[in-house]
Amino acid sequence: MEILKPGKKRDVPVIRQRATHIEVNAKSSELHKVIHLLEDPLTTDLKERHLFILKKLLNRNSNGFLLRELAGIARVLELCADKVKEHPEYLFILCEALKICRLPFLKERASDELSYAQGVTDFLSHMGCLMRICDAEVRQNVIESVKSFYNCVAHTHLLDSTDNPTKPKLQTHLSKSRFSNYSLRFQPTSPGYRLQLLELSDLPKTLLLSMAALENHSAIRPQLLQALQILSSSSDANCVSMLHARGAEMICLHMNEPDPSGQVLLLSSDILCNLLERGNKEEVSAQLISLDCVLSLKEAFSHVLQNASQQADLQLRNDLLMIITVIAENPNSALTESLFAQQLVHLITLTEDKSLSHLAHNLGLTYKNEDFKMKKMLLNLLIPLSKDLTALQLYEDERVMLTLLTYVKSPGVMSEHQPGARHWSSIQQEELQLQALVTLSSIAPLMLSDFMSYQGNNYLLLLLDWCVESGASYVHGFDGRYGRRNKKIQMLHCIRALRSVTSQGVEFVNQDLCDQGAIHQLLGILMQVEASSEEDDELAVEIMTEIQILFSTLCETDLHRKDLFGFEGAEMAIQFLRKGSGKFYSGLGHNKLILSTVDCVWSSIVGCYRTEDHFLEKEGAFLLLDLLSTSPRCLHGVVLSTLLDLCDNPNTLPHLLTWRDVTGQTAPRLLLQLWREEEEELDRDESALTFPSNAASLAVMEISENLRAKIYFIFSYLGFQELPGLSTEDYVTLSIVKRYLDFKVGEVWEEISREVRLENVWLFSDDEQALNNICKTSEDTARRVVAEQNKILEQRQKEDIRKETLFYTEMKSHRKQEALMAKSWDSYVSRTSSYKVLKEVKAQRESYSESTKPKVKDEEAVKRPTKHFIGHILAVESTGAKGPAGVRVKLGRTAIKEKTAT
């Protein structure tokens, strides 16, 4: 025996690890023995023995179940659940085991969480299956365990029974030293571990399905709904699992059952809202559109509507209304069939004034914020309800259009109330007005007769005038992106409502609008918004875009309205075209504004010669060409179409021929460049394409898809000869443009021939010969164009050779001149720097002069005196420059007088 000295400790780690390993294996073996004891037919009736060993098992796991043992624990709980019917004593074991489940699971190693993940998932699924046991205490423990997953705080260490009141009493006999060793060996799992695996289990679905078994347990139903509310609000996966079990339908069908607690309806509404928010909205709607569900919602809504007094009741009412709105978006809903839609529409048309309706009498609006939200939601409900055509007759009977137009009145008119009467505030009135305008934009096109009978155009135009006159008001954010913006929000939605009714193309509606001076009024509003807004004002850009689209709709097919658009409209279009396409990709809506401007020119100016001439005088054609040269490809089609229609006016052609861009490029050259870009885009394999006999061929459809046809027709106006600013490449392209129609006809016949071959159609000899001749004609046209192009290229080549020869001739002449200058300089330097050379040069000059003198005819000519000058160098200076300029020479001259004869 070893004697330890003072201060020396026994080294025992190895012994402890072996003991732990042995103990763990022993405990695992013990769990298997318990399962065997419960399953063995020879011991299946030993109830007392079962209960003793099960209590011992639970006592051993009183601090939490081990991850590696959960599969065995699940089997034990399943066996106990099977024995409950005959032996209720096992209920105690189940309840105590479920209490332990509220504690975090324990792990021996960090890798256990991943290794035993599937076992944990199966265990959680089995927990939900315990809800099938017809015992209130077991079910309540299951529910409390699930709720504890979300309520418990992450444990950093395990507490003993005296500090943790949630632990079962079975653990009280554990010694302090044993508990200490236990907590050192095992650690709790991470806080979100169970929640992650719960999403993969069937627990949410199982809890939901257990609702059908709780019809006679009104005390447990609210607790179960509370657990489902927690599950649905915490995870999208839980919502999906619940929806797979038709959770929305089940919750809805049980929401009106007797409830002493008063919480079932509120919790059911919360769960449905969570399923809509975090689950699949379409699937929720599909489960709630049945007649039974709609009747259940109708009963719940009517009950809350008549009895709502507290804040929670008002919120519940609005939540139910939101769910009803989602159901109304499904055209197959039973809202109309159940008469629920009639009740809702009647509620919408109730004004805030006194009404004899029983529903209005019991409604009791308090003008609180929740009542205001309900009013807005009711107005919005009209939009999805209108998808059901049978609801339109209901709208007409309840005079929905008159109600909407009543809200459209200016707030000054809306706020006329009796003194002392309660009513909506001015801010709330404007919010309701905005919602009514949004609803009107959707409803009015479906009820044009009612809209016109109640003078809808007049209401909207008066509202526009009010928006212009009181533009400094403060409006809360009906749309969060706008914030504080005067009356532009009302103006925008008012214009959208006008555009929605005019877009239907009903003549008497559009004519009524124009008869009230809408074109002139809208032009004034447009220019006022443009002048008072900044370029980065997204709302102002949207308003201007909507007004221009409205002009296009009104004036496109009516010459008189184009004349009303007139010079003022042309000036407006010019002003917006001058902005160009620089902010096309700014993300503020300028791209839509540019498109609407060009479309406005096309629909409201082109076709009225008086307005066209004014547009051209203000350089409108130039601005369109500028836009064509600088804009993205997506704009080219509408700009070219506008220019093409504008070419019907003979005053347009001179503008097209005289235009130049900043680089000096002409309009014909720009058009040919666009043609070449289009040809680069056409890279399709059409050899295997077939078309039905009643469908247009690809060659025909291609005309409307690209710009080549438009470019060809513009050149047909301009002509194909004597066009300014074209290069050889442009002339080559122009030869193709000139034959565009011939090539297009050839493409159509080529497609016909290919279709005939692919479908094995037998032709008569005459038909076959005619088809061959047509195809040959197309080939001959192509060969002629190729020959013309080659001729152009040859002429270009000859011209290039001529220019090159002239260039080299000039270069040789220049080089020869440089050589002569260099030789002259060398001679000059040699003469001025050497007196001997100077004398030789002088002698040569005199000799040459004598040889070239004419013979003297008389003696007087011979005796005629001559004057001679002798020069000498005084100084030579260098200037640093090249050539003769680099030397500065100073010469002196001496006159020699001739001698007289003696």
Once rounded to an integer, what is the mean pLDDT over residues 357-364?
A: 55
The DSSP symbol for 188 reads E
Which band of pLDDT confidence, cut at 50, 70 and 90, is reported for residue 428?
confident
Q: Express each pLDDT in 797-834 by its tens digit.
A: 877 788 888 888 888 888 888 888 888 888 888 777 87
Helices within 279-357 (DSSP H only): 281-288, 291-307, 311-328, 340-349
Residue 454 has pLDDT above 70, yes or no: yes
pTM, to two decimals: 0.76
Q: Which residue reads 């409209």 in tokens?
A: 569
Q: Which residue reads 């993300």 in tokens?
A: 587
With b for 16 or more beta-carbon neighbours within 10 A and e for fewer, the 696-735 pattern comes to ebebeebeeebbbbbbbbbbeebeeeebeebeeebbbbbb
Which band of pLDDT confidence, cut at 50, 70 and 90, is reported for residue 157?
very low
Taking the C-alpha atoms of residue 52 and residue 414, their distance in angstroms, rounded to an integer, is 80
Whole-number pLDDT of residue 160: 39
**Percentage of residues in the chain with pLDDT exceeding 70?**
81
Strands (E), 148-199: 187-188
Which band of pLDDT confidence, cut at 50, 70 and 90, is reported for residue 18?
very low
The CATH architecture one would assign to domain 434-471+479-687 is: Alpha Horseshoe (1.25)
Q: Express each pLDDT in 471-526 by its tens digit.
A: 544 344 444 444 444 588 999 999 999 999 999 989 999 999 999 999 999 999 99
Q: Express each pLDDT in 730-739 by its tens digit.
A: 889 898 899 8
Whole-number pLDDT of residue 566: 92
Residue 416 has pLDDT above 60, yes or no: no
Whole-number pLDDT of residue 770: 83
Residue 267 has pLDDT above 80, yes or no: yes
Once rounded to an integer, what is the mean pLDDT over residues 631-646?
A: 93
Whole-number pLDDT of residue 309: 77
Q: Express each pLDDT in 214-230 by its tens digit.
A: 877 788 899 999 999 99
Which band of pLDDT confidence, cut at 50, 70 and 90, is reported for residue 156?
very low
SS3 887: strand
Helices within 40-85 (DSSP H only): 47-60, 70-83
Residue 277 has pLDDT above 60, yes or no: yes
Once rounded to an integer, what is the mean pLDDT over residues 261-278?
A: 93
For residue 257, with 0-12 CB atoms within 10 Å meaning exposed, 13-18 middle and 19 or more buried, which class applies?
A: middle
Long-range contacts from 676-682, C-beta under 8 angstroms, 24+ separation: 676/733, 677/633, 678/706, 678/707, 678/708, 678/711, 679/708, 681/706, 682/706
Helices within 329-444 (DSSP H only): 340-349, 358-363, 369-385, 390-397, 400-408, 411-414, 426-443
Q: Express each pLDDT in 678-703 by its tens digit.
A: 888 876 645 445 555 566 667 777 77
Q: Are 700 and 741 in contact (CB under 8 A)?
A: no
**Percentage of residues in the chain with pLDDT exceeding 90?**
48
SS3 490: helix
Domain ranges of the chain: 26-152+187-200, 434-471+479-687
SS3 863: coil
